[in-house]
Chain A
Amino acid sequence: MAKNIIIIGGGPAGMEASARLDALGYTVFLVEKEKALGGHLARWDRLFPEGKPAGPVLDSLVGNLGNTKVLLESDVLSLNRLGDSFRISLSSGVSVIADAVLLTTGFDLFEASKKEEYGYGIYDHVVTNADVEEFFRTGGDPRIDNPQRIGLVHCVGSRDEKAGCRNCSKVCCATAVKQACELKAKFPAATVYCFYMDLRMFGRGYEDLYLKAQKEYGIRFIRGRVSEVSERIDKTLQIKAEDTLSSTPLRVTLDLLVLMAGMRPSREGTKVAKMIHLATGDDGFLSSLDGFGGMQATSIPGLFVAGAATGPKTLPDTIAEARAAASLIHEYLQKS
């Protein structure tokens, strides 16, 4: 009899792991709380570093699911261990007994309105990175109204003790540079500024993206964190930052301010972890067995983790982890 596997979270990690485990002949239940699969990827337009469209990536992930039983609009009501197996019950009324569980609960975007001083939700022309993707995907956002002066603020809800998030969110720098280029391409007359604390362009092709942003798109990079935003009568925004490289306070008027909201532990993941008594780190992300060989394993036998549930990850990282988890789960189920 084929063994059952429950995967909680239908984002890229969950879908990739489902596809692999399905191909290995297991019965996979993929649990997703939203109406559709895809997680944040489904809400993204293009991906860094090359600007590849997100749609086909998503389509291929969905296309590989095979016989995976996808349970949409399903909240996890309970998850507990029964001897060596796990029992999950869902809001849809379904309840499943499984031999292994994989948590791919991903991340939540930082609520940008928490950074009071940036005026998200207060001022008319302040948006987030997710809003920009939405704008490019659907083409409409009244807040993005042919802006001629655009600013992107890195590290909103990342590397910020005050917002309760010390961690770097890893993807925002590259996303900001990508979006800066895209906005410049969309509004060719616009001047685009990136306000950064440190530019962390660590991945393959990222530095090329940075170079292209400077050379081809003429993005102005300012090393300084925006500290205050005020709105004028005409709804333009006045930004205060320090150009730390020239040690001078700086002001600039903008028509659009984009906040690069960082990655926070997902509420759903935290909830599920509590049910199964899986520890979370000081940063709130789920704890895996260790950061090296035990990256996909947890302290609970049969319970595995992959993707941004254990900390900010890029999409390739996430997919690689999902594959690693699939192989580890296979090994675990063969032994038991």
Chain B
Amino acid sequence: MTPFYILQTDVPEVIDRIPGAYDHFILPYCAGIIFCLCWLGVGLVRVIANLSSSDRKALLLSFVNPVLIWKNLKDIFCDCLLHTKIWKRKPLLGFMHSAIAFGWFLLIVLGHLEVWLFAPRHLYLDNGSLFYPIFYRYFIWMNPGHTTLRGSLFFFLMDLCLLYVLAGIGLAIFKRFRSRLLGMKHTTKPSLMDRVALYSLWGIFPFRLLAESFTADLAGGSFLTLPANALLRFLFGDNLHFMPWWWAYSIVLGLFFVSLPFSRYMHILTEPLLILLRNAGIKVRHPRKGYAEAEIYACSSCGLCLDACPMNVQKKNLRFSSVYFIRFLRRHNEKKVNRIADKCLQCGKCLALCPVGVDSPAIRRRQRAAYNDRLAFDYSALKAPVPGGVSGAPVAGGGTPAPAGGKVMYFAGCMSHLTPRIIKAVLEVFRKAGEDFVFADENGGLCCGRPLLLAGKDRAAKTVIEANRKMIMESGCTTLVLSCPICLKVFKEEYKLQGIEVLHYTEYMDRLVAEGRLTLRKGEGSFVYHDPCELGRGCGIYDAPRRLVEGVGQLCKAEKEGDESVCCGGSLGSLTLSYDDRKRITAGALDNLLVNHPDRIVTACPLCLKTFSDASSDVPVVDIAELVAESTARV
């Protein structure tokens, strides 16, 4: 028995029993890993080569920026290994992913450490570095009676990590058959290569356990492998044939690595790349190449987007989900890709829930642009003086200039003109707060450009945006208040209005309340607040509207809300969704809102308001502006 405190002995702890560092059984594994690495190398070069030169430069710069380096390390650690995003939403799924990813990662690291400590010469490529750490227990046996504390610790840690991974694998196998119990209604149908990779992945760790158990009496082991070895001896006698198990272990590893590039498990290796690209600030420019390619391969095909997509209240629409969009992009199935791209509502919920952060709504917009951006348009009239009849309308350059004076400009947007109650309520609040303001599009204005962007008509959108931008910059206002979240998103992201603060009216009213310029009377009613897609997920505004609602009544919860809010079905994002399908989505969204029986539904988007009021027969639908207007006293 080795004394407890001995850390090193003069006698070698281990026996390097095969100095040549080779055995036939490693061949399947080596073939697999070499193939996989070559494939990855080519893929990496392709992605980098397809980035625009400015994007490549941004990527390079990100590698020397300490803030980004830290962010990259943190993100890779949290997202790729610990899977914190999944933990937050579905803890059991999170454990499963982290067990497999982080556990496997630890096994690899510890394996290399072991080699480095006990047989350092095998860390060189000509001495088996490719496979030595993997099959360490086969090549290096312990020297009986000379194992140190260090060695025991490694035996213990390796068994612990193996158990960790096996627990994850167990859950994964369970999930394949009982996904509902882990919180998923729908799962993806795996492709053939997915199955090959999946079954080999399932096989890797059980075979590793068996192989190591068979050799545990010779190579050493701990709480998992030693009892297993004793059991095997009890079952099969003293002469254990361990070779078949090491072969099996190597074969499943090889199979896994060969199938990996063609399977969903490619995400394991692509996700870090995607994180690097994303943190460097690179955006998707082409629906298939460069950044998009990294996203496509980073998709784990987990199917969380299936439950996320509001279209999936109807089973027939499952095929339009992001996971299948990515799959068809990967397979270059142009016809299906186009059909899915056009169908999407662009509500962004799949992105919000995606554990990898694949922005498939953006890829869809690129796909739409691939054709639609080429379509001709003619906005020459915007440059000419506005024809008679819209006197005073502060529209595009050359038109009547915006009335000067007001520092606050209110831009209602196209959709608000179809919901006059919003406009009326907003104006009333302005007056009650004594705000000096200009109503920019009282007599009609230009579209904000967002609908064009959603349809992929980028050049056209740019023209419209430029015309609007000119009008706003020339107006001399310092604050721009919008009532339509669709406008808000594009004004914030694309307009580049230097010196002008762009606010949604919920933010603006919330500020008026905070500044004491508005006082809300709290009443009896209970309200549920619907987060409009473009306001919540689009612009990250969740709290200001809720504070306002809480100021006038009781706020009750929807089944799903915040970034999991369900699209009302009225979205301008979809190009092809039929009116009947939209009605089904609206009905589903209403069910989601009404679980706690509120008196009224409150929202903050003209499109949501109109869509819901058409469909809701029992519960009235109001806009926050109306609520504020009716419960505000002038200070």
1/0 contact trace for B109-124 toward A, CB 8 Å?
0000000000000000
Interface of B is mostly: helix
Which of A116, A119, A161 is the one whose CB lies under 8 Å from B613? A116
Assuming the contacts A114-B613, A116-B610, A163-B614, asked whether A251 and B420 have C-beta atoms less than 8 A apart, the reply is: no
Residue B370 lies at the interface, judged by CB distance under 8 Å to chain A: no
Q: Which B residue's beta carbon lies closest to that of A230?
A: B420
Assuming the contacts A116-B418, A116-B609, A117-B418, asked whether A231 and B614 have C-beta atoms less than 8 A apart, the reply is: no
1/0 contact trace for B368-401 toward A, CB 8 Å?
0000000000000000000001000000000000
A114, B417: Cβ atoms under 8 Å?
no
Of B389, B613, B614, chain A has the most CB atoms within 10 Å of the CB of B614
Assuming the contacts A161-B579, A251-B389, asked whether A122 and B420 have C-beta atoms less than 8 A apart, the reply is: yes
Assuming the contacts A114-B613, A163-B614, A251-B389, asked whether A119 and B421 have C-beta atoms less than 8 A apart, the reply is: yes
Say how far A325's CB is from chain B's closest CB, in angstroms: 29
Residue B279 lies at the interface, judged by CB distance under 8 Å to chain A: no
In the bound assembly, the distance between CA atoms of A230 and B579 in angstroms comes to 27
In the bound assembly, the distance between CA atoms of A164 and B424 in angstroms comes to 26
B424, A114: Cβ atoms under 8 Å?
no
B424, A162: Cβ atoms under 8 Å?
no
In the bound assembly, the distance between CA atoms of A244 and B420 in angstroms comes to 24
> How many contacting A-B pairs (Cβ < 8 A)?
33
**Chain A residues whose C-beta falls within 8 Å of the C-beta of B609 in the assembled complex:** 116
**Chain B residues whose C-beta falls within 8 Å of the C-beta of A161 in the assembled complex:** 579
**Chain B residues whose C-beta falls within 8 Å of the C-beta of A114 in the assembled complex:** 613-614
In the bound assembly, the distance between CA atoms of A228 and B424 in angstroms comes to 14
**Chain A residues whose C-beta falls within 8 Å of the C-beta of B420 in the assembled complex:** 116-117, 119, 122-123, 229-231
In the bound assembly, the distance between CA atoms of A230 and B417 in angstroms comes to 8
Q: Which A residue's beta carbon lies closest to that of B390?
A: A251
**Chain B residues whose C-beta falls within 8 Å of the C-beta of A163 in the assembled complex:** 614
How many interface residues does chain A have, given as a range? 10 to 19
Q: Which A residue's beta carbon lies closest to that of B620?
A: A113
In the bound assembly, the distance between CA atoms of A161 and B418 in angstroms comes to 16
1/0 contact trace for A300-335 toward B, CB 8 Å?
000000000000000000000000000000000000
In the bound assembly, the distance between CA atoms of A114 and B620 in angstroms comes to 10
In the bound assembly, the distance between CA atoms of A229 and B610 in angstroms comes to 15
Residue B478 lies at the interface, judged by CB distance under 8 Å to chain A: no
Q: Which A residue's beta carbon lies closest to that of B583?
A: A164
B419, A116: Cβ atoms under 8 Å?
yes
Which of B417, B579, B610, B614 is the one whose CB lies under 8 Å from A228? B417
Of B420, B423, B610, B615, chain A has the most CB atoms within 10 Å of the CB of B420
In the bound assembly, the distance between CA atoms of A164 and B586 in angstroms comes to 13
In the bound assembly, the distance between CA atoms of A161 and B424 in angstroms comes to 26
Assuming the contacts A161-B579, A251-B389, asked whether A117 and B419 have C-beta atoms less than 8 A apart, the reply is: yes
Q: Which B residue's beta carbon lies closest to that of A232?
A: B442
Q: Which A residue's beta carbon lies closest to that of B420?
A: A119
Q: Which B residue's beta carbon lies closest to that of A228?
A: B417
A231, B424: Cβ atoms under 8 Å?
yes
**Chain B residues whose C-beta falls within 8 Å of the C-beta of A117 in the assembled complex:** 417-420
Q: Which A residue's beta carbon lies closest to that of B417?
A: A228
In the bound assembly, the distance between CA atoms of A123 and B419 in angstroms comes to 12
Assuming the contacts A116-B609, A251-B389, asked whether A164 and B421 have C-beta atoms less than 8 A apart, the reply is: no
In the bound assembly, the distance between CA atoms of A6 and B191 in angstroms comes to 64
Within 8 A of A (CB), among B407-441: 417-421, 423-424
Say how far A118's CB is from chain B's closest CB, in angstroms: 8
B614, A164: Cβ atoms under 8 Å?
yes
In the bound assembly, the distance between CA atoms of A78 and B420 in angstroms comes to 42
Say how far A264's CB is from chain B's closest CB, in angstroms: 10
**Chain B residues whose C-beta falls within 8 Å of the C-beta of A122 in the assembled complex:** 420-421, 424
**Chain A residues whose C-beta falls within 8 Å of the C-beta of B613 in the assembled complex:** 114, 116
B421, A116: Cβ atoms under 8 Å?
yes
Say how far B177's CB is from chain A's closest CB, in angstroms: 41
Q: Which B residue's beta carbon lies closest to that of A118?
A: B420
1/0 contact trace for A193-224 toward B, CB 8 Å?
00000000000000000000000000000000
In the bound assembly, the distance between CA atoms of A21 and B610 in angstroms comes to 47
1/0 contact trace for A233-251 toward B, CB 8 Å?
0000000000000000001
Within 8 A of A (CB), among B529-586: 579
In the bound assembly, the distance between CA atoms of A229 and B417 in angstroms comes to 8
In the bound assembly, the distance between CA atoms of A164 and B419 in angstroms comes to 18
In the bound assembly, the distance between CA atoms of A186 and B579 in angstroms comes to 43
Q: Which A residue's beta carbon lies closest to that of B419?
A: A116
Say how far A10's CB is from chain B's closest CB, in angstroms: 25
1/0 contact trace for A3-43 toward B, CB 8 Å?
00000000000000000000000000000000000000000
Say how far A165's CB is from chain B's closest CB, in angstroms: 11
**Chain B residues whose C-beta falls within 8 Å of the C-beta of A162 in the assembled complex:** 614
In the bound assembly, the distance between CA atoms of A122 and B420 in angstroms comes to 8
A228, B418: Cβ atoms under 8 Å?
yes
Of A122, A123, A161, A229, chain B has the most CB atoms within 10 Å of the CB of A122
**Chain B residues whose C-beta falls within 8 Å of the C-beta of A164 in the assembled complex:** 614-615
Q: Which 8 A-B pairs have the closest CB atoms?
A: A117-B418, A119-B420, A122-B421, A116-B419, A116-B610, A122-B420, A122-B424, A162-B614
**23 sample A-B contacts, Cβ–Cβ < 8 Å, listed by A number:** A114-B613, A114-B614, A116-B418, A116-B419, A116-B420, A116-B421, A116-B610, A116-B613, A117-B417, A117-B418, A117-B419, A119-B420, A122-B420, A122-B421, A122-B424, A161-B579, A164-B614, A228-B417, A229-B420, A230-B417, A230-B420, A231-B424, A251-B389
In the complex, given contacts A122-B421, A228-B417, what are 14 additional A-B residue pairs having Cβ atoms less than 8 angstroms apart?
Answer: A114-B613, A114-B614, A116-B421, A116-B613, A119-B421, A122-B420, A123-B420, A161-B579, A164-B614, A164-B615, A228-B418, A229-B420, A230-B420, A231-B420
